[in-house]
Amino acid sequence: MADPVGPQVPPMDYGDKPADARWSLVVPQLTPGVSIHNNFLCRHMAGFYSAFDKSRAQVICGIESKDMTYETATPIYLRVRDELAEQIGTGKLGAGERLPSERVLAAKKGAARETIRDAYRMLEGEGLIYRSERRGYFVSPRRLRYDPTKHLNSFRLIQKHGGEPGIISFGWAEVSASTSLARMMACKVGTPMLFHRTLIHIDDRKVCYEENYLLSNAFPGLLNLEYEPPVTDFLVSRFGTKTKQVGFRARPTNLYGIVSKILGVNASTPGIYLTRIKAQDGKILQVDRDFWLSNIMEITIGRFPQKI
C-alpha cells in the first residue's frame, strides 16, 4: 500500500521582517466584508494583529471597535463549535454521549444544517467527537497517550489505559519489498517479506488498522506456524526474537480505501499514520505501519499534563 500522505508544506521563513511584512506572507489580501469561510481566518488574524495594531485588527474584520463582539465577529458554525468544545472540556458532555442530529441542532440554533455540519466536522477533525455510520456523532473517549520513546505494542497500550483490547488477524502472506520498504529495511527492492494485517478495537469499537512487514529469511517457516497475536509476543515465543524500535515517524492523514473500509468509517476520515522500524542486534527485521483514528490517540513525550 502506498503511503497515503500528500505533499508536505514547508514552514515559512519570516526572517527579520517586521510584523506587517510577516502577515503579508501569510495572507496576501485581507479586505472588509470577507466571506463566511474567510471569517474563520479573519477572527484569528484579527486576534494576532491586535497585538501589533488594534485599528488594523478592526479593519480586517470590517467592524468598528465599539461594535466588535464575539457574536458579531464570529460565524455561527464557529460559535457552535466553541460551545460544544467547552461542554466537552468541562464534562457536561461525557465520553460516548450522543450529540443532537444536524437537523435537531440546526432547528435549536436557528441555523442551516450545513452550518451545524461544518461545526461537527471541525470537532471531528480535532478529535473531540467521532461519527458512527448511520448512528450520528458521539463524544470521543479520553485519548490513548503514546510515548514513542517508551514503545508499547497496541495491545498493551490499550490495557495500560484501562481499555479492553481486541485483535482480528487477517493472516500472513509473502510479498516483495516495495521501494519505500526497501529503504526503511536497508534491503533490495523485491526482497521477500512476510506481511500481516490486523484490525484493533477497544471495547468493540474499531480504532486501528495495522500492517507488519518482516524480513522473510529471518523467520523461516513462519507461514506454517499457528499464529497467536500480538506479533511482538509471537516472535519472542516462536523465534526468540525481541526487536527494539530504532525509528519512528508520525504523520496526519486521511483514511481511504481498504483502511477506511476495515475501520468502518467514511473515506477521508482524519487519522494518524505511524511508522516504526525495529531491529535486533543492529539488523533491521521489521517495519510496522499503523493507521489510527485521530480521536483515539495523542503522542506525548515526557511529563505532559493530562488537561491543558
- Band of residue 125 on the pLDDT scale cut at 50, 70, 90: confident
271-304 pLDDT, tens per residue?
999 999 999 999 999 999 999 998 888 899 988 7
Please say whether the beta carbons of 34 and 42 come within 8 A.
Answer: yes
Report the range of poorest mean pLDDT among 46-60, 93-107, 274-288: 46-60
Please say whether the beta carbons of 219 and 258 come within 8 A.
Answer: no
The mean per-residue pLDDT over the stretch 233-246 comes to 96
Percent of the chain with pLDDT over 70: 75
Looking at 3.20.10.10, 1.10.10.10, 3.90.650.10, 1.20.58.190, the CATH number of the domain 75-139 comes to 1.10.10.10
Q: From 2, 10, 68, 9, select the one nearest 39 (Cα to Cα).
A: 68
Q: Number of H helices and number of E strands within the chain?
A: 11, 10
- If 0-12 CB within 10 Å is exposed, 13-18 middle and 19+ buried, where does residue 23 land? buried
133-174 pLDDT, tens per residue?
778 899 987 888 999 998 888 889 998 888 888 999 999 999
Task: Please give the CATH architecture assigned to the domain spanning 144-299.
Answer: 3-Layer(aba) Sandwich (3.40)
List % helix, strand, coil for the chain (3-state, nearest 5): 35, 25, 35
Asked whether the domain spanning 144-299 has the same topology as the one spanning 75-139, the reply is: no
Q: Give the start-to-end residue ranges of the domains of the chain.
A: 29-72, 75-139, 144-299
- The whole-number pLDDT of residue 131 equals 81
- Band of residue 73 on the pLDDT scale cut at 50, 70, 90: low
